A and B are shown apart, each in its own frame.
Chain A
Amino acid sequence: MSTKHADSAKQFLYYKGSAQWHNETLWFVRHKRDLVSRSLPEWETLRELSSQIKRHTISHLDTYLEQFAANAEANGAIVHWAVDAKEHNDIVFNILKKHKVRKVVKSKSMLTEECRLNPYLMARGIEVVESDLGERILQLMDQAPSHIVLPAIHLKRQQVGKLFEEKLHTEKDNCDPTYLTHAARKHLRQEFLTADAAMTGANFGVAATGDVVVCTNEGNADMGTSMAKLHIVSMGIEKVIPSYQSLGVFHRLLARSATGQPSTTYTSHYRKPQAGGEFHIVLVDNGRSKIAGNPDHWQTLKCLRCGACMNTCPVYRRSGGYSYTYFIPGPIGINLGMLQAPSRYFDNVSACSLCFSCENVCPAKIDLGHQIYKWRQDLNGLHKADPMKKYMSYGMKYVFKRPVVYHTGLKLAPAINKLPRFLIYNKLNAWGLGRELPQFAKESFSEMWKNNNVKSVKNE
């Protein structure tokens, strides 16, 4: 009885020092989020507003998308519609090909990860350079992000120092963060200067104005889009919001939830092409319109991709991003993976103790834990239920439906206390791996009640 997640988590926890560091580091981010959220008396009102605005927008998605596209086109953008990842990748590739682009710099975008754009472009001879520092580190290591906001959080600076020594020819054994950041800056500056096109994701698309809003801390999106004449935005259709007023609500929540900052360092509004350039927006569905009609799981579309649910998740903090089989980990990733392909990503559904902390930090109030509960109910129908859990559940129902059996069991249970250790503590007993079993009471409550002992026992 174990899932791929449980197995990987075991590996992760084997290295106690780094596991502890991962746990504490992400808790620190959660703690910063708590402090900054408490500095706003209206915090809970903002969360409620955010949830309602998202609900409204998602239930009127067609209207807002058409408004957004019309306004963006009126501003001078070229708007494309992609039904799935393949179409998105084709559209992007064809734009790049038309402009004879050899190198494109990208700022962070989970949507392009979802579409697996980088390998697609690279296989077609286009050099792709990630410009977010964490993403660039991972690209140089040929690794995937382990967190959606802090993609390289599983790495330590010593590992980055070694990598830069090899790839960027930095000083041997120098892993001073300032030194390494400066080296990355010099390296990336060269990439910005020589790129033919820039790509960004989109945190928000404002329907009323056609603005694409991108939030970064490094200014890398701005560097990329300022240097290259060609800018392509990949935007999920659920990123559209009605207006600047609603943007105000989301912007106040986003960085506070993500990293505990009042705001990201840079918040850029893109509206029109540079002089002599082109500005493309690719609106991507890739299953989203279907999710909008799913009564149990439509709320996942409210997600701002802040990562707060990962930072608070006690399981994520102790198992790391790579223990999940879907590219987005943590509570939101468990749900998004199941929506993408349940029979491929069902292993992640075990990674939840149903503590519901994720729902309380979520700035869009998504019912993340309750959705995971619902996915568990679906596993049997998908033939992915754990046989042992199924056996136990059916067995429990058998006993609990029959009070006579139950009461006989209660009477016999104390004998288990006296069994030899090897019979109880072995490989079949996952409980006993790190825990002693509880002791059965000599007399159960039911027995005491029947024997009239409840009323006569005096508490200490």
Chain B
Amino acid sequence: MKIGLFIPCYVNALYPEAGVASYRLLTSLGLDVEYPINQTCCGQPMANAGFESQALPLAERFEALFEKFDYIVAPSASCAAFVRGNYPDILKGQHLCQAFEKIYEICEFLVDVLHVKQLPSAFPHKVSIHNSCHGVRELKLSSASELNIPAYSKIKDLLEMVKGVEVFEPDKPDECCGFGGMFSIEEPEVSVAMGLDKLKNHMATGAEYITGSDSSCLMHMQGIARREGFPIKFIHVVEILAAGL
């Protein structure tokens, strides 16, 4: 099984540790992992801002770069959701779209494809799960609070395999944190108000860390926490799953 690692642009520049942890975790499970060096961005930022046409050349590149892999795995729910949900439309009439069927957010890959039942990692801390919107409502990583369906959470299931970790979820467990790509700068007041509320709910759990699969949400909340002087820390969920490897 050949895995192409997709490290989204902002993870690459700001949070390479999430990429490193993804690589370590996947290789520790005996997988053949490669990072196509010429990858850049999936195109979501401009498409969500209303310029989907600007994402087309990026989607074409993405398709070509990852063509030879059986699976594409990314430490980002939002980027994986964009490729899965939007590439077929963006590439309509241009190119045969394959990436949408092969791309997985790393937690869902561990649960749904690898059927991981145990992990050797340890993380003796209290963490609050940030259920990001695109993770919940597009990739269905956990049961959305609005739906009358049996409760589940793939991220929680994985975290519970980690030794020593105490897992919490905030009140309003899947309310948006207010990042939303360019929404965060086009509607900065609403975005920050949403982020503050979300942070307060996370901190009320007593957790030391906020963790999740979307570094973009974590980045937004971290920016507010640093401005406000809140003592809460942030860590990508894959770093916890790979802790101690």
Contacts and interface: CB of A to CB of B under 8 A. Distances in A.
Do they bind each other?
yes
Contacts of A353: 133, 176, 178-180, 183, 187, 191, 194
A6 interface: yes
B166 to A, nearest CB: 18
B42 to A, nearest CB: 9
A34 B146 CA distance: 6
A393 B45 CA distance: 7
Interface in B158-217: 172, 174-176, 178-197
A141 interface: no
A397 B57 contact: yes
A459 B197 CA distance: 32
Main secondary structure of the interface of B (DSSP, over half): helix
Interface residues on chain B, size class: 35 or more
B40 A400 contact: yes
B190 A6 contact: yes
B51 A443 contact: no
Contacts of B189: 6, 9-10, 13, 433-434
Interface in B15-56: 15-17, 19-21, 23-24, 35, 37-41, 43, 45-52, 54-55
A373 B182 CA distance: 12
B185 A459 contact: no
Given A399-B40, A441-B15, A2 B133 contact: no
Interface stretch (B94-102, B108-116, B219-227): B219-227
Nearest to A446: B12
A319 B189 CA distance: 9
A437 B227 CA distance: 9
Contacts of A155: none
Contact of A44 (B40, B148, B194): B148
A459 B24 contact: yes
B7 interface: yes
The residue among A2, A356, A392, A397 with the most chain B CB atoms within 10 A of its own CB is A397
B133 A444 contact: no
A392 B182 contact: yes
A289 to B, nearest CB: 27
A81 interface: no
A41 interface: yes
Contact of B14 (A315, A359, A441): A441
A1 B186 CA distance: 6
Interface string A27-47: 100000010011011011000
Interface stretch (A72-80, A176-184, A450-458): A450-458
Contacts of B45: 392-393, 396
Contacts of B54: 393-394, 396-397
A3 interface: yes
A361 interface: yes
A305 to B, nearest CB: 18
B48 to A, nearest CB: 6
A231 interface: no
Contacts of B149: 44
Contacts of B174: 357
A120 interface: no
A450 B58 CA distance: 22
Given A433-B189, A444-B16, A454 B148 contact: no
Nearest to B138: A356
A72 B145 CA distance: 42
Given A357-B176, A433-B192, A441 B147 contact: no
A459 B186 contact: no
Given A44-B148, A401-B58, A435-B227, A445 B37 contact: no
A259 B174 CA distance: 21
B50 A380 contact: yes
Given A355-B180, A440-B14, A459-B245, A389 B193 contact: no
B91 interface: no
A13 B188 CA distance: 11
Given A38-B148, A396-B46, A459-B243, A6 B224 contact: no
Contacts of A9: 187, 189-190
Nearest to A350: B186
B137 A389 contact: no
Interface string A310-326: 00101100110000000
Contacts of B187: 2-3, 5-6, 9, 315, 350-351, 353
A213 interface: no
A35 B47 CA distance: 36
Given A389-B186, A449-B35, 5 more contacts: A314-B194, A353-B179, A376-B50, A393-B54, A396-B54
Interface of A: 1-3, 5-6, 9-10, 13, 19, 23, 27, 34, 37-38, 40-41, 43-44, 312, 314-315, 318-319, 349-357, 359-361, 373, 376-380, 385-386, 389-390, 392-394, 396-397, 399-401, 403, 406, 410, 413, 430-431, 433-441, 443-446, 448-450, 454-455, 457, 459-460
Interface of B: 7, 9, 11-17, 19-21, 23-24, 35, 37-41, 43, 45-52, 54-55, 57-58, 61, 133-134, 137-138, 144-149, 172, 174-176, 178-197, 219-220, 222-224, 226-227, 239, 242-245
26 contacts: A5-B187, A9-B187, A19-B193, A43-B148, A44-B147, A312-B146, A314-B175, A350-B187, A353-B179, A356-B138, A357-B144, A360-B137, A360-B144, A360-B146, A376-B49, A377-B47, A380-B51, A389-B182, A394-B51, A435-B192, A435-B224, A441-B13, A444-B13, A444-B16, A448-B16, A459-B20
